[in-house]
Amino acid sequence: MEILDGKKISNQIKEEIAVEVAQMKERGEKVPHLAAVLVGNDGASLTYVGSKVRSCKKIGFESTLIHLPEDTTEDALLKQVAELNANPDIDGYIVQLPLPKHIDEEKVLLAVDPNKDVDGFHPTNFGKMALDMESFIPATPFGIMELLRRYDVDTSGKHAVVIGRSHIVGRPISILMSQKGKAADATVTLTHSRTKDLKSITLQADIVVSALGVPNFLKADMVKDGVVVIDVGITRVPDETKEKGYYITGDVDFENVSKKASYITPVPGGVGPMTIAMLLKNTLLARERHKTKEA
């Protein structure tokens, strides 16, 4: 059994990006600039956005945090988005989800310039991804693909079973893994809440990607020997003995499933850190694409 060490690989990727940024600076070029828009004071969102901004600083990106109050109107947010679209200094930006309930997320999402949509959530990017065109791939599935590539996990012709059909993980990873290319060319089954007898399906899987958010869901009797397990679940379980008041757990019964697996991602330290690394990678790509257009 080998651990797919997302923490290690994400650090490698960040170092590679840092080298590129240093070279940009040496050449006197503009460095990538990521902006993050946060509306309100959701605890998890504050943590995520803070972590993204710190990562930018570490690798030499410019970053801007736009923190708006909880009662920001939809119009005001759309105006902010329009300003970010128009600002040539910003290469890419994210609008941290979830947004307060009085704001229509779809409307905001559609207002983001696809050329700056480093989250890859705009339908134009999603469609380009599905149609094998150049796009921004959503950071979590992009991170899973990169992890599989860096560990040279053989996926071609393998049976990959994805659990969960969310827009940000299950759906895109099911598309990416069934396309042509490295870490892809798999036969992919997408399962979800209506799937009957899931166990009979996961037992056939050479690769399982669990993106459900239910702790301890995937158990050892649901997988076959030698399976590759990607655990995308990140659930905060309240725990007063911890300093933060909670601990993080994935979808997988790691202790027992890992005994049967050939490769497995831990939680934390698996897919999570890869997500931030790939957001930075997308921002670097955005800078490079804008530069090509400017030239």
Q: Give binding residues as ranges.
A: 164-166, 234
- Is 104 a catalytic site residue? no
Beta strand pairing call for 187-191 and 159-163: parallel
- Degrees (nearest 5) of the Cα angle 210, 176, 217? 5
DSSP assignment, residue 196? S
Min. distance of Cβ 181 from a second copy in angstroms?
11
Cis peptide before 215 (omega within 30 of 0): no
Nearest to 192 by CA among 170, 221, 160: 170
158 is catalytic: no
Instruction: Tell me how many residues contact a second copy (CB under 8 A).
Output: 35
Question: Does 166 contact a second copy by CB under 8 A?
Answer: no
Closest alpha carbon to 273 in 13, 39, 1, 2 = 13
**Active-site residue, from 5, 117, 119, 206:** 119
* Residue 220 engages a second copy in binding (rule: CB under 8 A): no
Nearest approach in angstroms of CB 219 to a second copy is 19
Q: Is 131 in the site for a second copy (CB under 8 A)?
A: yes
Residue 78 in contact with residue 99, Cβ under 8 Å? no
Binding residue (CB under 8 A) for a second copy from 48, 61, 93, 126? 126
189 contact partners, CB below 8 Å, separation of at least 6: 159, 160, 161, 162, 201, 205
Under a CB-based contact definition with an 8 Å cutoff, are residues 33 and 289 in contact?
no
Using the contact rule CB under 8 A, the part of the chain among 31-39, 46-54, 95-103, 127-135 near a second copy is 127-135
**Contact (CB, 8 A) for 30 and 46:** no
How many C-beta neighbours within 10 Å does residue 85 have?
16
Stretch that binds a second copy, among 10-18, 39-47, 130-138, 271-279 (CB under 8 A): 130-138
Q: Name which position in 45, 87, 115, 178 contacts a second copy (CB under 8 A).
A: 178
Q: How far is the CB of 194 from a second copy (least distance, A)?
A: 4
Q: Which two tokens stand for residue 8?
A: 């290690």
Is 225 catalytic? The answer is no
The binding site for NADP(+) consists of 164-166, 234
The strand pair at 159-163 and 92-95 is best described as unpaired
Kind plus residue range of the DSSP H or E element containing 10: helix 6-26
For residues 127 and 131, give the distance between their C-alpha atoms in angstroms, rounded to a whole number: 6
Q: Check binding of 189 to a second copy (CB under 8 A).
A: yes
C-alpha 176, offset from chain centre: 13
**292 is a contact residue toward a second copy (CB under 8 A):** no
Task: State in angstroms the smallest separation of the CB of 200 from a second copy.
Answer: 9
Asked if 157 is part of the footprint of a second copy (rule: CB under 8 A), the reply reads: yes
Catalytic member of 5, 14, 52, 231: 52
156 lies in the binding site for a second copy (CB under 8 A): yes
In the stretch 75-114, what mask flags binding to a second copy with x, by CB under 8 A?
Answer: -------------------------------x--------
Q: Residue from 7, 67, 165, 291 that binds a second copy (CB under 8 A)?
A: 165
Q: Looking at 5, 14, 91, 96, which residue is catalytic?
A: 96
Active-site amino acid positions: 52, 96, 119
Contact residues for a second copy (CB under 8 A)?
A: 106, 122-133, 135, 156-157, 165, 167, 171, 174-175, 178-179, 185-192, 194-196, 201
